[in-house]
Copies of this chain bind each other. A is one copy, B any other.
């Protein structure tokens, strides 16, 4: 069944949101129209503004509405550390732990020849020139432990070979609260080979 054209259009457009299927889109559209028109209007304006004004930080490539993002501009961060991640969400995840005070470099993806994503799309040249021309002493590679993430990490390590910086990879192993029984084999292999001496 079809509602009026404008409501159909709204339901349809809502499906551009990740994880929103036809049933959820319907529920959202009706909720907004029946109960929260003020919220809907605020959301629409926020979307238009963000789409228009948010670009990428010239230094770290993270999403930012200013040429240099807040994090890169901050004088409270450790200039000697540079953490390389795939996506803005990864920056958020690490920041939320509150345990890292260095800077970031956001690749905005990972190497994927099939999708036409090579070193150029990931700004690898920019990363290298940043390492050359700054006080960075250690690069922490925090790409995802997936095939593409590992390949990307490997490529970056190769490129860094000639530079006088430490290059490290975040640890992979059994997550806290995880049970050995339910952890996959690949993770266990990592956990064993990455074991640390206790004394």
Interface residues of A (CB under 8 A from B): 1-7, 9-10, 12-14, 16-19, 24, 26-34, 36-37, 39-51, 53-54, 63-66, 69-70, 87-89, 91-92, 95-96, 108
Most buried by B among A2, A43, A70: A43
B1 touches A65 (CB 8 A): no
A51-B37, A87-B34 as given contacts; A4 in contact with B66, CB under 8 Å: yes
B14 touches A33 (CB 8 A): no
The 4 closest A-B pairs by CB, nearest first: A16-B39, A1-B95, A13-B43, A44-B47
A5 touches B92 (CB 8 A): no
B48 touches A44 (CB 8 A): yes
A46 touches B4 (CB 8 A): no
Q: For the complex formed, measure the closest distance between the CB of A88 and the CB atoms of chain B, giving whole angstroms.
A: 6
A65 touches B5 (CB 8 A): yes
Q: Once the chains are docked, how many angstroms separate the CA of A26 from the CA of B14?
A: 16
Q: Once the chains are docked, how many angstroms separate the CA of A51 from the CA of B18?
A: 22
Q: Once the chains are docked, how many angstroms separate the CA of A28 from the CA of B48?
A: 14
B41 touches A47 (CB 8 A): yes
A26-B89, A41-B48, A51-B40 as given contacts; A108 in contact with B34, CB under 8 Å: yes
Q: Which of B24, B34, B46 contacts A6 (CB 8 A)?
A: B46
